[in-house]
Every structure is written in structure tokens, then in C-alpha cells.
Structure 1
């Protein structure tokens, strides 16, 4: 058993309240269970309880064993002085506040129907990647739909939060934050870390100063990535000369080549080709962050990322290696990936920062208009009969799996809650 089961039991009051009393024998009446606290401090805030003849307003702390209070050092933490009731599965020791006063304890191990605990254990011990797979068909579609909507919003808030951290760490500059997020997105997982290193090692003010010149942008990006050390053909040598000048001017230190991965990749996805595409995008859209906020259609967002590369890169995927086919820029699938992983998080971050929910709604609407893509996460739910119909569904499934299913966090999931409630109704 984990504490989340007791959180659930307390929050929904799924225990026998007949002759409810503390371990010291004082009668307990729950007037308000309190609000679940996701921050530091006691588990439930603003609870109202009658213990004995006195009505208390304060917090409730939940543990499996009363001794966990001491294990977590709450007896030395003033935040826990406001606890008016310690709810535990087993009361093994008395507990005190910082001033030495005893905390009333409510023991639940003999008040919870063991069949409810058995349902919880089935979820916790499930072998399927989706813990509730055996119960999924029993859950109403509306419950699953609402939970997926919640998981989508939570995922967008999480991704937006990552962009906000970048924004704050770079002096509250949105264009800088968008630049970093853009480079991270261009890594497409395989080379994500290397692209992040380029973003960290190449000051954005340098990029901004040379955005009007595509050749210089290519030189900065490819040079900083470490790809110009062995320039071969004439164009590569021209890029090398540009980078050498800019490197000395701005005291730049290029990345070692070992950071980059070319294995098991199509030539169109090589990091050299991606860097050329990135240069074209930055050149054609110098106010990238503003473009993200103001672009108004899904097609325009995809066009934003599918910028036309220079003539050299239309015929090359590596420096000195000519391609048999002509490629003007990024493919549609890759452009959609960047809309999802760059544009949408930026919109979510700005919605959070500005307080204008319209940008979050814009992000969700954008995802709803983009085509779904089957992946290992959506396939887990497809096995249960659910089907993604848009990129929004993909992100919702990803959010649901990563935040809830993979951690067996069923007690915080509406689907898991519904299963437990249905089981409770049959007891």
C-alpha cells in the first residue's frame, strides 16, 4: 500500500465512521476534509474537525504508519504545527509538534473495507502498462474523455512551464526563450541534447545580429556545432572563413563532433541538414516568437517551420556530400512535430505568463487540427479500444500515461477514481 490510497480514502471519506475516535478515545466528527495540497507541507489544508468538545480548523497529515511523522522530521518543522489530526493506517507511536504537544491520531486499518483495498492492490500490481486495463471497459466514456482533456491541459501546462523556466533564466526575453525552445525541438530527440548545447553556447544576441545574412547564420550554426573543421568544397570553405571571423569576434567555442548522432538516420534528418533548415527559418522569420503568437492557421504554422533552405542545401545533406534529390526544406511530418513541440509549448507558456487563456485555447485548437500520429503510448490505449483522432489526443494520451499510468497514480486519476467508486458502490 502507498500513501495515495489513504489520501483517497480520507478525501472521499471511504471508511467506517461509527464511533469514530482518536487513538486516545476522543470522539471525532469530520466537518470538512480539507483541500489536497500538492505543495510542501501537510497533505490536506483548511480542514474542519470536531475532536471531543472542541472544533478545530487546520491541516490533516496522512501517513501509513504514525512513526513516519518522525521519519520525515515533522516534529521539527513549524509547517506541521497546524496539523489538527494525523490520519494513519497503523498507529505505532505517539507524535508531537515542535512545541512537544501531542497530535491527535486517527487509525484506519480496521475501518476500511478490505475489498476496496483489494481493488486498489489489483491496480497497483497490474502487469499491463495501463494499470486499469482490466477495468477500462467498465468506465463510462465521459469519464475517460474528461480525464484525457485534463491530462492534455496538464501536459501543456508542464511543457509551458519548461519554456517559462528558460524565459526566466535568460533575463525574461521571449525571443531568447523561443530560440532555445526552437533549437531543442530541432534535435528531434536523437540530437536534442546536442542542439541544446548549441543554444547554450551560441549567444542569441549574436544570432539576432546576423539574422539578415543567411550565409553568416549557416556559418554560425554549423561552425558552433563543430561541422566546419574539415571543410572540403568551395561552399564549405566559405562557411569556414565566415565562422572563423565570427568565432574570434564573439569568442565562441564550438562543440566537439562526438555530441552528434548520424546513425540509423535518413539523410534528410541528419543534423547538418537540420541546422541548415534552422538557419533558413531564423533568416526568414527574424521575430520568431512574435510569429508564434500571431500566426492564425494550422497551415501557416507548418509553413513557418518548413522554411526554404539555401540553394546549396537543396542539393546537399552534409557538407561536401551532394544528394541525388532536390529538397527545399523540412517535410510535412517534421514540421508538424515542431508545431507540437515548439509552437504549442510557447503558446502555453505565454498563456501562463500573461494570464490570457486565449493563447492556451489557441494551442489546444492547433493540436485538434493536426493529424494524429500513432506511437507507442497511443497504441497502449488503442489496445483497450480508444482511438486518437488528432494530435491533441496524442498529447492527452502521452500526458495520461506519463503522469498517471506509468507511476500507477490511479488515485489521482478520474478513471481510477471511478473504478474505486464503482467498487465501493457494490460493497
Structure 2
């Protein structure tokens, strides 16, 4: 058993309260279990109890064994002097505050229903990707839907918080925030890290001066990415030679050479040619050239179709026939719809939520999340698992919620924090 299970039991008062007494024989009446504390200090704050005839207000600390109090050094910590009740599974020794006074203890051993313990152990030991899969029949569909909606918002808020931190780091510049976020997202996981570095290596103020000139824009992007270095593939390619010459002039002008990446910084392994980093850079260059005001456009687009058109800028003629500098190959002339949908999911929606939080307009959060309901559902091994178990999966909003449910609750076995797990563990009413 894990200690968080006892937290769950105390929070919901799922134990037998018949003749509730401390280890010293005082009667206990729980008026208020307190607020679960996830920061440093006792586990529950602002609890209200009757111990004997006296009402107490304070904290509750919970351990599997009473001796954990000493193992965690609480006897020397003034924060724990406010504890009015020590709730334990096993009382193996008395514990005291820093002033030497004994902390009353409640023992839960023997007060937990075998059925509750059995369901908890089953959640801990089940091996499927979804631990509660064998018990899902006990959970109404509406409870699953509400949990996925909750995890969707958690996922969007987490992404937005990352962009808020980036916005602060960039000195409160939303255009720069959009630029950095877009470049990172164009890595589509495999090359996210080098594209994050490229955003730093090619500052937006420099890029802004040359956005109108596609040749200079591509020279800066491909040069700083390290793809204009002469090699056997591109040595006789006149287009690449021209970009290289332009890059050498610009990199000297802006003193950017030290920050440039190298070809080996990029990942080509197990990627189709259409997903090669140079192809993505060409698509990115097309978007940056055609859409000079990134943040405003991403913020004001009214629907998914408008955003699809925003990302559908055609690449220049050379990159319509090359997968990397000097290597010919057939590639898409513009970013595909599925890739655009990923950018909407991972850039546009979080960016709008971050901005809504920044200006204090929560109604804009709902508008941003609504974009996800206009996108088709994502399909991967994780979402397929939940599909087979009967979870609703019709739009990208469902997909994002299911991914958050998997990563934040099912995979780390955080069943006690999950509304579905709580529903399974909820004691069944006794029929009389």
C-alpha cells in the first residue's frame, strides 16, 4: 500500500467511523477533514475535530507507520507543531511535537473495507495500459467524458504555461514568442530541439529585416541551420552556392556565426524524405515569407480553414524538387493538412490561451479550445487503446484529453487523482 491511498481515504472519509478513538482512548469526531496540502508541511490543513469534549482546529498528518514521523524528522520541524491528529495504518510508536507534547493518533488498520482494499490493489497490480480497464464497466460514460475534458484543459494549460514562461524570457514580446514556438513545433518531435536552438541562433529582429526577400530569408535559415556547408552533394549546385554566398555576407554583417548549428545536429534517422529537416525549413521559410505578422494572424484567425490556409504557403521552386541541398527528390509543395493541424494543436491553441491568461480574459480560453473540436481526431497507439475501451474519440479535443489522461494519470498510476479511479474506489451504497 502507498501513503497516497491513506490520503485518499482520509480526504473522502472512506473508513469505518464506529466508536472512533485515539490510541489513548479519546473519542474522535471529524467535523472537517481539512484541505489536501501538496506543498511542504502537514498533509491536510485547516481540519476541525472533536477530541473528547474539545474542538480542535489544525493540521492532520498521515503515515503508513507512526514511526515515519521520526524517519521524516517531523519532531524537529516547527511546521508540524500544528498537527492535531496523526492518522496511521499501523501505530508502532507514539510521536511528539518539538515541545515534547504527544500527538493524538488514529489507527486505520481494521477500519478499511476489504472491498475497497481489493479494488485499490487491483488498480495497482493490473498490467494493461489503462489500469482500471477490467473495472471500467462500473464507471458511467459521463464520468469518463468529464475526466477527459478535465485532462484536455490541464494539457492545454500546461502548454500555455510553457509559452507564458517563454514570453517572459523574451521580454514580453508576443511576436518573438510566436516565432520561437512555431520554429520548435516545426520540428515535429524528431527535430524540436535543433529548431529551438535555431530560433535562438537566428534572432527575430534579424529575420524581420529580410522576410520580404525569400533568397535572403532562406540563406539565413539554411545557413544558420548548417545546411549550406559545402559537401559532395551540393558542391556543383548553383542555387546552393548562391545561398551560401548570400549567407556569408549576412552572417558576417550580423555576427551570427558562433551560434550556427552543424549538419550533425539534425535527425534524419527513420524519417521519410518529406519530413527531412531541410524540407521542413523550406516550408517554414515559405510561411515566414508569406505571413509577416505571425502573432496577429495566429491570434485572430476565426476558424481552422483560415489557419490551414495560413500554413499552406508554397515553397520556392528549388525546394519543390529537393529533399536536402544538392539532393533531388520529390517533396510536397507546401505543408500538409495533418501537419498544419498539429501546429494548430501545439502552437495556436496554447498561444491563444497564454495570451488570454496574460490579459485576463478567460472567455478567450474557451474560444481557443473550441478550435480543437474542429480538428479531426489524432490516431496513434495510445488513442487506439482508449478507443477500444469505449472512450469518446471524435475530434482532436478528445485526442488531446486522452493523451493527457494517459501521460498524467494512467501511465504513472495516479488513479487516486483521477475521477475514473475515484469512481471505481467509491464505496458502494449499502442496501437495507
TM bucket by the smaller chain?
Answer: over 0.9
Relative to 1, partners in 2 of residues 1:345 and 1:40: Cα closer, same or farther, differing over 3 Å?
farther
Tell me how far apart the structure 2 counterparts of residues 65 and 350 of structure 1 sit (CA, whole Å): 47
Q: Which of 382, 386, 402 is the matching residue for 1:377?
A: 382
- 4+ residue runs over 4 A deviation: 422-427
State the shift of 1:211 in Å. 2.6
Matched, 1:291 2:293: no
Matched, 1:244 2:238: no
> SS where residue 135 of structure 1 aligns?
helix
State the shift of 1:265 in Å. 1.9
Q: Which residue of 2 aligns with 1:110?
A: 110
> SS where residue 81 of structure 1 aligns?
helix
Q: Which residue of 2 aligns with 1:306?
A: 312
Count of equivalent residues = 426
- Give yes or no for contact 1:116–1:423 (8 Å, CA) kept in 2: no
- CA deviations on 1:249-304 (whole Å, 9 max, x unpaired) are 33322112222112222222110011111122122222212222111111111222
More off after superposition, 104-113 vs 394-403: 104-113
- CA deviations on 1:82-111 (whole Å, 9 max, x unpaired) are 332222222233334444443332221121
State the shift of 1:387 in Å. 4.1
Tell me how far apart the structure 2 counterparts of residues 308 and 365 of structure 1 sit (CA, whole Å): 28
Relative to 1, partners in 2 of residues 1:292 and 1:68: Cα closer, same or farther, differing over 3 Å?
farther
Relative to 1, partners in 2 of residues 1:86 and 1:353: Cα closer, same or farther, differing over 3 Å?
farther
Q: TM-score, normalised by structure 1?
A: 0.93
Tell me how far apart the structure 1 counterparts of residues 4 and 26 of structure 2 sit (CA, whole Å): 26
Q: Which of 325, 336, 344 is the matching residue for 1:339?
A: 344
Tell me how far apart the structure 2 counterparts of residues 73 and 10 of structure 1 sit (CA, whole Å): 22
Gaps of 5+ in 2: none
> SS where residue 145 of structure 1 aligns?
helix
Relative to 1, partners in 2 of residues 1:195 and 1:425: Cα closer, same or farther, differing over 3 Å?
farther
More off after superposition, 242-251 vs 412-421: 242-251
Tell me how far apart the structure 2 counterparts of residues 72 and 388 of structure 1 sit (CA, whole Å): 45
Q: Which residue of 2 aligns with 1:257?
A: 263
Gaps of 5+ in 1: none
Q: Which residue of 1 aligns with 2:7?
A: 7
Q: Which residue of 2 aligns with 1:279?
A: 285
More off after superposition, 38-47 vs 190-199: 38-47
> SS where residue 31 of structure 2 aligns?
strand
- Give yes or no for contact 1:66–1:91 (8 Å, CA) kept in 2: yes
Q: Which residue of 2 aligns with 1:360?
A: 365
State the shift of 1:184 in Å. 1.4
Q: TM-score, normalised by structure 2?
A: 0.92
State the shift of 1:181 in Å. 1.4
Relative to 1, partners in 2 of residues 1:167 and 1:421: Cα closer, same or farther, differing over 3 Å?
same
- Give yes or no for contact 1:404–1:413 (8 Å, CA) kept in 2: yes
- Give yes or no for contact 1:119–1:423 (8 Å, CA) kept in 2: no
Matches for 1:25-424 after TM superposition, within 5 Å: 25-230=25-230, 231-232=234-235, 233-252=237-256, 253-324=259-330, 327-421=332-426, 423=428
